[in-house]
Each structure stands twice: as C-alpha cells, then as structure tokens.
Amino acid sequence: MENVERELGKLVLSNLEMLEKSYGFLVQIDVQFYEKIENQFNAWYEDFKKNSGWHKKPGNKKNQDAIWYCLGEKYDNKKSNIDIDYSWLSACTGIAKYDDGETIEYGIHFGFNRDYFNFTAKTAKQFMQDQFANYPELKEVGFQYIVGSSEHRTIFLPIQLDLKLLIEEYPDYKDQALQPLSDALDKIKNHQAVFDGIAEKLMKHSKLQES
C-alpha cells in the first residue's frame, strides 16, 4: 500500500500544473452541473408550493418554510470525519466517500423547522420517527428516516446519477443524465398524500398563526 501511495504521489507531483488547471475547470463544471440540478428541483418545488397548504412563516428569511423539501447530502453524525472537499458531481454519482469508504448519499429531504412547532429536539425526532414507521410504504420504495445532530431528522430519498451519462450529455444534460432526479420527484408526487398527512399532524403542534 505504501508503494502504491508513493507512486501515486509522484504521479501527482509530476502533473501538478495540469492538475491545478484541471481543478479550476472542475469547479466550473461542478457549479454549472449543480445549477441544472438546483433549477430543476426549485421549479418543481415552487410549483408544488403554489398548491400546498403547508405552513410558511415570514421570519428572518423571506417566506421561510416551516415544513419543507430540500436537496442535500445524507448526514450522519456517527461519521463526522467527512472529506469536505468533494464536488457535487462526486456526491451525486456515488464517488464521494466517508473516511471509512462508505458512500456519501445525496438526495431529497422532507423535514420541518422546529422553531415553529411545540417540540423539543427529542420529541421532534420521535415525531418524525413515528411518522416514518406509520407509513411503511415509504421504506418499501426507497425512502429512509435519518437522524443526525440536534436538529437533523428528516425523511430522505437518495438519488444517484450515472457518471457515464453525465459525460455523454455534458454540458447540457438534456436527455437521460438527470432522469433519476425526475424519477425521485415523481416518487414524491406519487406519495404526496403521505407527506400531506404528516404535515397535517405537524400543524396540530404549530406555534404559527394562519395569515
């Protein structure tokens, strides 16, 4: 192993100038890629919110959502030693790893802002865990309940893109490369009645006043 690392180090040093230039280009490609992902998700989410009865609260952030969907990594408080320098491309294609070699998953979270509900950190986690248990069909189609640090407790749907398709469709990604994201959004839509049911139960614990 030491010999492999030594040879790899020599290879890196001998191609240092090219790697430096490549890194800058990777950052540029990564930003462009994530804009595609984010724009597709945001368009779906804004359309969803137009017809949603879920609570919002204009707080420090305009129209901050009390109950929400968001894109992000699957957090794990037992694995705090994550290499923070991985790209979005690596996270979305299963290349990014924890130090122990386990893949860092990326996907869509469903959760809520505890500040707007009558929960402690402990009871908020218990509420979400109970809701996930009450709807076994979520687990059957790939959703997970995940819990991290004090305010991390969400229902999570992992998404993994195919790097080969991303390469083939670069830079527009207009055919099949982003299909797993579309499929995930459809899966949420197909189970929206479940999430609306959870939201309805959440609202019974709400601190918010209807506007």
In a domain, 141, yes or no: yes
pLDDT of residue 209: 56
SS3 sequence, 5-17?
HHHHHHHHHHCHH
Picking from 142, 144, 114, 140, the residue whose alpha carbon sits closest to that of residue 129 is 144
Give the pLDDT confidence score for residue 131 in this predicted structure: 98
Give a yes or no: residue 15 inside a domain.
Answer: no
Does some domain include residue 165?
yes
Give the number of C-alpha atoms closer than 13 A to the C-alpha of residue 55, restricted to the C-beta side.
24
In a domain, 11, yes or no: no
197 found inside a domain: yes
CA–CA distances in Å: residue 54 to residues 39, 62, 91, 96: 22, 16, 30, 34
How confident is the model at residue 80, as a pLDDT?
Answer: 53
Q: Which domain holds residue 74?
A: 34-203
pLDDT for 53:
80
Closest CA to 127 of 192, 191, 202: 202
- Cα(41)–Cα(30) distance, rounded to whole angstroms? 17
DSSP 124-136: HHHHHHHHHHH-H
**Long-range contacts, 97-102 (Cβ 8 Å, 24+):** none
Position 70 scores a pLDDT of 96
- Per-residue pLDDT, 55: 66
Neighbours of 48 (CB within 10 A): 15
Tally of domains in the chain: 1
Residue 100 lies in a domain: yes
pLDDT for position 60: 47
Give a yes or no: residue 29 inside a domain. no
- What's this model's pTM, rounded to 2 decimal places? 0.89
What's the burial of 11, exposed, middle or buried (CB within 10 Å: 0-12/13-18/19+)?
exposed
The Cα–Cα gap between 172 and 181 comes to: 15
Q: Is position 128 within any domain?
A: yes
Render pLDDT for 160-190 as a digit per residue (tens, 0 to 9). Answer: 999 999 999 999 998 899 999 999 999 999 9
Residues of the chain with pLDDT under 70: 1, 55-63, 77-84, 150, 208-211
